[in-house]
Copies of this chain bind each other. A is one copy, B any other.
Amino acid sequence: MIGIGPGDIEYLSLKAYKLLQQVEVVVGYTTYIELIDELLSPDQQIISTGMGGEKERAEKAIARAAGGQSVAVISSGDPGIYGMAGLILEILKRRKEKKSAADSIEVEIVPGITASTASAAALGAPLMHDHAVISLSDLLTPWDKIKKRIKAAASSDMITALYNPRSSQRTEQIKIARDIFLDHCSPETPAGIVRSARRGEDEEVVITCLKNMLDHRIDMLSTVIIGNSSTYVDEGMMLAEDGAMITPRGYEL
Q: Is the interface of A mostly helix, strand, loop or mixed?
A: mixed
Find the B residue at minimum CB distance from A238.
B106
Q: Name, among A9, A140, A251, the residue most crowded by chain B CB atoms within 10 Å (CB to CB).
A: A251
- Tally of contact residues, A, Cβ under 8 A: 81
Chain A 91-144 residues near chain B, CB threshold 8 A: 91-94, 96, 107-114, 117-118, 120-121, 124-135, 139-141
| Contact yes or no, A236 B132, CB < 8 A | no
A146 at the binding interface (Cβ < 8 Å): yes
| Contact yes or no, A117 B78, CB < 8 A | yes
In the assembly, what is the distance between CA of A131 and CA of B158, in Å? 12
A204 at the binding interface (Cβ < 8 Å): no
Per-residue contact bits, chain A 128-169, to B (CB 8 Å; 1 contact, 0 not): 111111110001110001101101110111100000000000
5 smallest CB-CB distances across A and B, nearest first, come from A140-B250, A152-B156, A86-B128, A86-B125, A152-B152
Interface residues of A (CB under 8 A from B): 3, 5-6, 9-15, 17-18, 54-55, 78-83, 85-87, 89-94, 96, 107-114, 117-118, 120-121, 124-135, 139-141, 145-146, 148-149, 151-153, 155-158, 198, 234, 236-237, 239, 244, 246-251, 253
